[in-house]
């Protein structure tokens, strides 16, 4: 997993988020303030610009640049949250990047967002997609599967996790203000986390 792959990850995520922007915003309209699609679209466009301008020389540098840009450029809660995932991953990632190393760094990123957001599995947030993806990666490392297969499994786990947020009542973020009325809608941040994981599986495949 080299520097180009990590740059391609964010470029593909930006493309997917642009494609799915209106769906993400509709999900946020149901239980939030209808800006998740535009927040992320803007943020990822800025990430791609920053990556093109800075020509990062390692996977860790790609992640740090992406994370810092998301924190600076996204107004909503999701910016600092995703930003902290990628900055923490960048800190934890060793070169050359093996699947085991990636999995450990991803886990560190998920722990960072759980801390920052004070969110746990079941709170109906992006954590409900990111944590299952992280667990799938760890299992894939244990089972010795290929990078491509591991990332496919992580993307599938994220998608299942996002779907599982539909019957949940939100306990964190704006959606929590709705109480029981948050039940019955997929969490927008969990939905966008699926796009990040799908993009990674795509560029590695």
Give contact residues for ligand ADP (rule: CB under 6 A): 28, 32-33, 35-36, 39, 76-78, 81, 117-119, 125-127, 172-174, 187-190
Give 43's contacts (C-beta < 8 A, 6+ positions apart).
Answer: 69, 70, 73, 74, 78, 79, 82
32 versus 132: smaller Cβ distance to Mg ion = 32
Answer whether 204's CB lies under 8 Å from 36's CB: no
Rounded to whole angstroms, the Cα distance separating 5 from 24 reads 25
22 is an interface residue for Mg ion by CB under 5 A: no
Of 26-65, which residues contact Mg ion (CB under 5 A)?
Answer: 28, 32-33, 35-36
Q: How far is the CB of 174 from ligand ADP (least distance, A)?
A: 4
Judged by beta carbon distances under 5 to 8 A according to partner kind, the member of ligand ADP, Mg ion, none in contact with residue 185 is none
x/- track of binding to Mg ion for residues 73-112 (CB under 5 A):
---x------------------------------------
Pair 40, 56: CB distance under 8 Å: no
Q: Distance (Å, rounded) from C-alpha 78 to C-alpha 75?
A: 8
Q: How far is the CB of 35 from Mg ion (least distance, A)?
A: 4
Q: How many Cβ atoms from other residues are within 10 Å of residue 4's Cβ?
A: 11
């Amino acid at each position: 997993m080299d520097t180009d792959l990590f740059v391609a990850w964010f470029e593909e995520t930006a493309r997917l988020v642009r494609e799915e922007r209106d769906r993400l915003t509709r999900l946020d309209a149901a239980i939030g303030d209808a800006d998740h699609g535009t927040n992320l679209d803007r943020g990822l466009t800025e990430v791609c610009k920053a990556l093109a301008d800075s020509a990062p020389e390692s996977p860790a540098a790609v992640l740090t640049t992406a994370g810092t840009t998301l924190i600076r450029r996204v107004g909503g809660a999701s910016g600092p949250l995703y930003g902290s995932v990628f900055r923490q991953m960048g800190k934890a990632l060793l070169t050359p990047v093996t699947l085991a190393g990636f999995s450990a760094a991803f886990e560190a990123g998920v722990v960072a967002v759980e801390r920052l957001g004070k969110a746990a599995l079941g709170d109906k947030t992006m954590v409900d997609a990111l944590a299952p993806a992280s667990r799938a990666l760890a299992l894939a490392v244990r089972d010795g599967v290929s990078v491509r297969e591991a990332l496919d499994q992580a993307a599938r786990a994220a998608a299942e996790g996002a779907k599982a947020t539909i019957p949940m009542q939100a306990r964190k973020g704006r959606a929590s203000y709705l109480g029981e009325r948050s039940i019955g809608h997929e969490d927008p941040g969990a939905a966008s986390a699926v796009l990040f994981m799908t993009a990674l599986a795509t560029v590695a495949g």
